[in-house]
Amino acid sequence: MTATAQSSTQADKTTIRGRLAARKPITAPPEQKDDTLQVVRRLFAYMASGESRREFIKGLTIRLIGVLALVAMPFFTGMAINVVTAPGGDFNQLLLWLVLALLAGVLYLGFSAVGERILARLATTGLYKLQRHLFEHMQTLSLSFFDRQPLGELMSRVTNDTEAVSLFYETAAAPMIRAVFQMLFIVVVMTLLDWQLMLVALLIVPVMLLLTAVVQRISTPAFAKLQEELGELSGFQEETIAGHKVIIANLRGDWAAEQSAELAGGVFDVGTRAFFTSTVQFPLTQTLTMLEIVIVLVAGSFMVLAGDTTFGVVVAFMSYTALLATPLSDIANLTATTLNAAAGGRRVFAIIDEAPTVKDAPAASEFAFQGGHVVFQDVDFSYVPGRKILRHNTFEALPGQKIGICGPTGAGKSTIINILTRYYDIDQGAILIDGQNISQLTQASLRQQIGVVLQEAFLFSDTVMNNLKYAREGATDEECIAAAKEANAHEFIMQLSDGYNTMLTERGANLSQGQRQMITIARAMVANPKLLVLDEATSNVDTRTEKLIQAGLQRLMAGRTSFVIAHRLSTIRDADKILVVNGGEIVEAGTHDELMAARGFYYTLYMSQFKGKAGEISADAVDFVST
């Protein structure tokens, strides 16, 4: 490998790490205090609150009865041993204690099975409620949230993080509940039997608790880092898979594989440290458990010899010591699962706790369409506070007019549309539609009346018919077919393998760009909006297909106030008004003929698309300003 290639490879590694590290806007900072218990409580709340509360109490009560039966077994066994070791023991009394011990065992099995079944169902319900809450909440978040959060990172939170939480619900939730109450009941019974021997039996417990605390302190940040590393890996893989054509065209397959291997190696290293520090607790807990039993046996033997207790009580305490160690061991075994779930849950709750930036006003009213009269009054806007994207924009669109919007790349054309549809709130000024300030309207009622056809046609992995029906709930097959005919899409749809029932692959990849665009136009017709937005709707198709699309668009725009963003200025020559945007400001406005006669910015922009016709004015004479 040459020195240049080596330096390039090293730069790639540095770049990918730096780029990924910079894209974590909703990840908790490392200096944040440990909130593991709070996160675990929130996870438990999904299975034990709301409509699940009564079922949870029922399952918990049944499980507690089972634990009581389990705790009673060593007591009955100890009493039976006392009968055997006592001079002149009574056989009937021995039989009574043995029957009670057997009955307790049967009750434990029965109640435990029923209780575990209920708690397991609640755990599944909790996971379902969490996943549903997460996805439904994401639908309420504003566009700015998705702008600043990479898709791969979001998918990691929806998949990897919820999978970690799923494992907690499936394997840890119910055992942790049982473990807590089992330890509590055993301590109470041990205290009632012999408080001195109880103190001896609990000597090791503080050591176990301290060990658990130490492991948690070490493992918690390790598991948090693990989920972050998984998010980075998922984000990179999603991005490279989506851009596979660029990877192939530029012969960067080896680079992508190397970067993926590096990120996967980071996941492996962090995961190894995280799981080792947590799993090492199990053998230590087992060792301490055996030591605890030995201590109880030795201390109890001396107490029996001194006449301070009976042999049956010592045997019962040995059983209780083992039963006490079992939940402690369970907790130790579940530490890794719980901490990993807490790390995943923390990242999931970071999304759930995210508030939408665009909200309906407290007294927001429904949009009442009255023709489609749109007015911008001295509008300023910024995506990031302090960095203006649009400045002092004022214009008027009369009902039914076609408004063209043009300008250099990055001038702010799409931003004007984003604030018209209220994907973002403006900094100052006002946007009125039919005299109604859109900031005082409900978002749902506003967007229901605005149809959008984007440059990149997006179709779902479903049938053609269902993609058309997606535009309006309750749309009929006949309405969709009529819309497809109006959009010039019916003919090619009927030539597909199953016509309108043809299944489309992801994003409609089994159709051409023009076919996808015609379906999106038909979908907009099905929605039957009162206002229309077209964002570069014909920029990626050939001339013949463009004519078909334009014909469909003309039918769609008929009688509607329409805003058309265009790079091909020929597509907006017939506009009632053309807004020329440069550097976030509307620098010119008028019809095509008026703007050409003014021989200003629009004239230069238009003539630059027809080289050799610009005359004495060069495109270089005008500054094209991006925002």
pLDDT tens-digit profile of 283-342? 776 677 777 777 777 877 777 777 777 777 777 777 778 777 777 767 766 776 787 788
Residue-level pLDDT at 112: 86
Q: Which of 251, 240, 329 has the alpha carbon at shortest distance from 290?
A: 329
pLDDT tens-digit profile of 29-56? 444 455 788 888 888 888 888 888 898 8
C-alpha distances in Å from residue 56, one per residue of 51, 52, 120, 122: 9, 6, 10, 7
pLDDT tens-digit profile of 176-185? 777 888 888 8
Q: Which of 303, 322, 320, 319 has the alpha carbon at shortest distance from 311?
A: 303
Residue-level pLDDT at 251: 65
DSSP state of 576: S
Average pLDDT over residues 493-515: 86
Provide the 3-class DSSP secondary structure of residue 416: helix
Q: Tokens 């061991």 label which residue?
A: 329
Residue-level pLDDT at 19: 45
Q: Which of 503, 317, 525, 543 has the alpha carbon at shortest distance from 534?
A: 525
Contact present, 422 and 356 (Cβ < 8 Å): no
pLDDT of 5 strictly over 90 = no
Residue-level pLDDT at 32: 46
Q: How far, in Å, CA of 478 to CA of 151, rounded?
A: 36
pLDDT of 610 strictly over 80 = no
Residue-level pLDDT at 598: 93
Locate all alpha helices (DSSP H) within 243-310, ordered by sequence: 244-249, 253-279, 281-305
Contact present, 234 and 160 (Cβ < 8 Å): yes
Determine the residue type at 172: A
Q: How far, in Å, CA of 580 to CA of 393, rounded?
A: 11
Both tokens assigned to 372: 């489609």
Q: Tokens 């969490």 label which residue?
A: 130
Who has greater pLDDT, 291 or 588? 588
Average pLDDT over residues 603-613: 74
Average pLDDT over residues 614-624: 48
| Helix (H), strand (E), coil (C) string for 418-468 | HHHCCCCCCCEEEEEECCEEHHHECHHHHHHCEEEECCCCCCCCCEHHHHH
Angle between helices 513-527 and 477-486 (to 10 degrees): 120
| Helix (H), strand (E), coil (C) string for 101-170 | HHHHHHHHHHHHHHHHHHHHHHHHHHHHHHHHHHHHHHHHCCHHHHHHCCHHHHHHHHHHHHHHHHHHHH
Residue 50 region by backbone torsions, left for phi larger than 0, else alpha for psi between -120 and 50, else beta: left
Q: Tokens 């009580």 label which residue?
A: 313
Who has greater pLDDT, 266 or 367? 367
Candidate from 112-121, 398-407, 535-544, 602-611 with smallest mean pLDDT = 535-544
- Which residue(s) pair with 563 in the sheet? 403, 533
Element of type H or E holding 381: strand 374-381
- Which residue(s) pair with 582 in the sheet? 585
Q: Quote helix, strand, coil % in the chain, to nearest 5.
A: 65, 10, 25
Give every CB contact of residue 282 below 8 A, 6+ residues apart in sequence. Answer: 329, 332, 333
pLDDT band of 612, cuts 50, 70, 90: very low
Give every CB contact of residue 473 below 8 A, 6+ residues apart in sequence. Answer: none
Q: Which of 492, 576, 490 has the alpha carbon at shortest distance from 525?
A: 490
Candidate from 275-289, 299-313, 457-471, 488-502 with smallest mean pLDDT = 275-289
Number of residues that this document lists for the chain: 627
Q: In what order do the strands lie in the sheet with 585-590?
A: 450-453, 531-535, 561-565, 402-406, 577-582, 585-590
Residue-level pLDDT at 453: 83
Q: What is the mean pLDDT of the chain?
A: 79
Both tokens assigned to 599: 């021989």
pLDDT band of 244, cuts 50, 70, 90: low
Contact present, 239 and 20 (Cβ < 8 Å): no
Contact present, 160 and 301 (Cβ < 8 Å): no
What predicted TM-score, i.e. pTM, was given to this entire model? 0.69
Q: By percentage, how much of the chain surpasses pLDDT 90?
A: 19
C-alpha distances in Å from residue 269, one per residue of 375, 384, 492: 58, 37, 53
Angle between helices 253-279 and 281-305 (to 10 degrees): 10
Contact present, 421 and 533 (Cβ < 8 Å): yes
Who has greater pLDDT, 83 or 490? 490
Both tokens assigned to 236: 């990179």
Residue-level pLDDT at 9: 41
Residue-level pLDDT at 216: 63
Element of type H or E holding 46: helix 36-48
Locate all alpha helices (DSSP H) within 157-204, ordered by sequence: 162-171, 173-193, 195-201
C-alpha distances in Å from residue 484, one per residue of 449, 504, 548: 20, 16, 12
Give every CB contact of residue 80 below 8 A, 6+ residues apart in sequence. Answer: 94, 97, 98, 101, 312
C-alpha distances in Å from residue 271, one per residue of 223, 277, 336: 7, 10, 11
Domains identified in the chain and CATH numbers: 18-23+35-352 (1.20.1560.10), 374-449+558-614 (3.40.50.300), 452-528 (3.40.50.300)
Q: How far, in Å, CA of 153 to CA of 156, rounded?
A: 5
Provide the 3-class DSSP secondary structure of residue 298: helix
363 HSE (CA, 13 A, CB side): 1
pLDDT band of 538, cuts 50, 70, 90: low
- Which residue(s) pair with 534 in the sheet? 453, 564
CB atoms within 10 A of CB 28: 16
